[in-house]
Amino acid sequence: MTATTTADLLALDRVAQDLLFRAARTANTFTDEPVTDAQVAAIHDLIRYGPTAYNGQPLRVLLLRSAAARARLLPYVSSSNRAKTASAPLTAILAADVDFHQRLPELYPHRPQARDWLADRAARVEQARFNATLQIGYLIVGVRAAGLAAGPMAGFDTAGVQREFFPDGRHEVLLLLNLGHPDLGAPHDRLPRLDTGEVIRTLDEPG
């Protein structure tokens, strides 16, 4: 018998809560066990159902598996991120497709004119970045759903990575993500999280 906790108020079972959030940790070191293409496809097949504006799904993922592919990335990565990026079984470059709107007649068929609402590139870049970032949130959850650990990294030369890997000029690089089976032992205790009262408030009515 355990006391009722906030976890009991959720429909999601406790094992899944732990897998995705409570016990999951960002990983900096990984075992040698590979992350297979089938696992990556399974993660995508789950998280692709997460919602995006106009169902636009702007996230694009470039996987770097081989040492040769990784070697092209390392010069752009901050020194503190280099060793883990070199040794992770798989590294993903996460980017937004700024021309995602070209697919809207197919992805948002009840309003095919949505493509034309997004004719302005500057507005579209903002939309692409925002919705691809939402999808990165789903993706991090999805990596954990596969029993893997994710290691997101923001410390890199974004413009350099964009030139090196997306010379077409139609993608905005957002984040790097290492994936793998976490090595035993987290590097430090879990960092403190804000309390609900510090994050969420209810608007008071005028009296």
Q: Which of residues 113-132 bind a copy of itself (CB under 8 A)?
A: 127, 130
Position 2 contacts a copy of itself (CB under 8 A) = no
Residue type (1 letter), 185: G
Position 11 contacts a copy of itself (CB under 8 A) = yes
Q: How far is the CB of 90 from a copy of itself (least distance, A)?
A: 9
Position 134 contacts a copy of itself (CB under 8 A) = yes
Q: What is the H or E stretch that residue 123 is in?
A: helix 121-145
CB neighbour list of residue 15: distance below 8 Å, 6 or more residues apart: none
Residue 62 three-state SS: strand
Residue 185 three-state SS: coil
Count of residues in the chain? 207
Q: What is the H or E stretch that residue 92 is in?
A: strand 90-97
Q: Which of residues 180-199 bind a copy of itself (CB under 8 A)?
A: 188, 190-194, 196, 199
Taking CB under 8 A as the binding criterion, the range among 65-73, 81-89, 178-186 that sits at the site for a copy of itself is 65-73
Q: How far is the CB of 199 from a copy of itself (least distance, A)?
A: 6
Number of residues counted as binding a copy of itself (CB under 8 A): 84
Q: State how beta strands 90-97 and 171-180 pair.
A: antiparallel
Position 19 contacts a copy of itself (CB under 8 A) = yes
Position 202 contacts a copy of itself (CB under 8 A) = yes
* Nearest residue (CB) to a copy of itself, 121 versus 190: 190
Q: What is the full DSSP assignment across 125-150?
A: HHHHHHHHHHHHHHHHHHHHHTT-EE
Q: Which of residues 22-61 bind a copy of itself (CB under 8 A)?
A: 22, 24, 26, 37-51, 53, 55, 57, 59-61
